[in-house]
């Protein structure tokens, strides 16, 4: 077993690097929450490749967000991934009562997390194997998930 580690970041590049590390390490589940995922590189080739490998291994992706506009307009590659792996991916949109939530995080297998402290800023940290760092965001994600409704569903005509 590897030693737990925490990495602080404050740039988009560092966020993307830690996010890729979290996705790459995940085997069973990825849970992501962000108001709109505008700073997440979901449409990049590198993240698409990692997510496809994760889903091909049977991993499950759950994504919760306030607003789908950025994903719908700027991440066609991610929308194709949702269509191709619709049986392993689910996206949910929060109700208006939760729109004040401003944190942002990606939890991998309930043991790793990449989180920004506030969605308006890039400052955050990635914790790998530090289970105490997961506890509050895990409960937070579960509560958000229960309250949210399904969105970004593939249809016969596309998304």
52 domain residue, yes or no: yes
**What is the rounded CA–CA span in Å between residue 50 and residue 41?**
12
Residue 22 lies in a domain: no
Give a yes or no: residue 51 inside a domain: yes
In CATH, what number is assigned to the domain containing residue 76? 3.30.870.10
Domain range enclosing 99: 28-134
Residue 121: predicted pLDDT: 93
Which residues have C-beta within 8 Å of that of residue 55, sequence separation ≥ 6?
61, 81, 85, 88, 89
Q: How far is CA 31 from CA 89, 142, 158, in A?
A: 10, 9, 24
Looking at the domain assignment, is residue 5 inside a domain?
no
Q: What is the pLDDT of residue 4?
A: 79
State the Cα–Cα distance between residues 154 and 159, nearest whole angstrom: 5
Q: Tell me if 35 is assigned to some domain.
A: yes
The predicted-structure confidence for 103-155, as pLDDT tens digits, reads as follows: 999 999 999 999 999 998 999 999 999 999 999 999 999 999 999 999 987 65
Mean pLDDT of 14-30: 97
Q: Is residue 4 part of a domain?
A: no
Percent above pLDDT 90 for the chain: 91
> How many separate domains does the chain show?
1
88-107 pLDDT, tens digit each: 999 999 999 999 999 999 99
């Amino acid at each position: 077993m590897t030693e737990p580690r925490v990495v602080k970041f404050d740039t988009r590049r560092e966020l993307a690097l830690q996010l890729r590390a979290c996705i790459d390490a995940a085997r069973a589940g990825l849970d992501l929450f962000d108001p709109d995922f505008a700073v997440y590189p979901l449409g990049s080739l590198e993240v698409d490749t990692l997510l496809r490998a994760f889903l091909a291994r049977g991993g499950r992706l759950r994504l919760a967000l306030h607003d789908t506009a950025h994903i719908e307009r700027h991440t066609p590659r991610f929308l194709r991934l949702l269509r191709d792996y619709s049986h392993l991916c689910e996206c949910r949109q929060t109700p208006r009562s939760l729109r004040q939530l401003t944190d942002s995080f990606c939890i991998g297998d309930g043991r790793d997390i990449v989180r920004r402290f506030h969605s308006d800023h890039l400052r955050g940290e990635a914790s790998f194997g530090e289970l105490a760092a997961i506890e509050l965001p895990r409960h937070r994600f579960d509560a958000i998930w229960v309250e949210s409704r399904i969105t970004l569903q593939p249809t016969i005509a596309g998304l």
